[in-house]
Copies of this chain bind each other. A is one copy, B any other.
Amino acid sequence: MSTSSDSLTSGAPPTAAILVIGNEILSGRTQDINIAYMAKGLAQHGIRVNEARVIPDIDVVIVNTLNELRANNTYVFTTGGIGPTHDDITADCIAQAFGVDIGIHPDAEARLMSYWSERNIQPNSDRLRMARIPEGATLIDNPVSAAPGFCLHNVYVMAGVPRIMQAMFDSILPGLQRGAVIDSVSVLCDLGEGTIASPLRALQLQYPEIDLGSYPGKMPRVDGEKFTVNLVARGTDKKQLQEVEQALIELVSNANGNIVSG
């Protein structure tokens, strides 16, 4: 994997790691939907996601994981742990990871004070924890509930609540380094994976820059369920993708299969 500085200076495609912070995901209480949301947006922006991790609210784990991921990726996107309660320790961990101080950020405080004032919410020391931002960080707007995320170097720190995370992510994405957009085409067919594995492998060898995947599924039918396979090609070269799509359609036809609609 390339380091952040390599990626930024060598013209290599930008890369990302996603870091989901929260016991509620690792206990199975909450189904994460933030990884998929960010992954989609990053692909459309041409940023390759190297990995995603889910870790608990434990400071040493957050600090160490953050330091590993930020060294190995152009960008790191974190979600979770920036609220007012005792288990919200992400901001402090980010400060620790970067070796910088953390304190009340005047602009963050002002945004929160204004939001609270409009709603007759009393400020208190816990609520003000949400204005604590590591030194040198810039704020990420929170149009839902004011408490901002922040960016420090190549690390973007966002809320865990999906609606807030999505608004934050949408606002930062346009400002990120762009790679070639990763497009995809897909062909859904009624063949078994084992039937088309051989021509699919040959096609992958023919187009090494295209990422060819094969995903079994099923669809309802009058006489029960029917097994399907979705053949997905992803890549940055639109011409090659079109050629591969045509080849996939022919591949299904040659194997006496049918294209089905999903």
Contacts and interface: CB of A to CB of B under 8 A. Distances in A.
Interface of A: 23-33, 35-43, 49-57, 61, 83-87, 121, 124-127, 129-130, 161, 182, 184, 192-194, 196-198, 200-201, 204, 211-217, 232, 234
A27 B57 CA distance: 26
Nearest to A129: B197
Contacts of A232: 24, 29
Contacts of A201: 85-86, 126
Contacts of A215: 24, 30
A30 B87 CA distance: 30
A contact patch SS: mixed
Contacts of A30: 36, 215
B50 A52 contact: no
A198 B124 contact: yes
A129 B200 CA distance: 14
Contact of A214 (B26, B85, B204): B85
Taken together, the copies of this chain in the complex come to 2
Q: Which of A23, A29, A200 has the most chain B CB within a 10 Å cutoff?
A: A29
A51 B26 contact: yes
A121 B43 CA distance: 37
Given A28-B35, A57-B213, 10 more contacts: A25-B36, A26-B51, A27-B39, A27-B40, A27-B234, A29-B232, A85-B201, A86-B201, A126-B197, A126-B198
A215 B130 CA distance: 15
Contacts of A193: 83-85, 126
A203 B256 CA distance: 66
Contact of A35 (B39, B54, B127): B54
A204 to B, nearest CB: 5
B184 A27 contact: yes
A24 to B, nearest CB: 6
A33 B35 contact: no
A122 to B, nearest CB: 8
A197 B84 contact: yes
A262 to B, nearest CB: 12
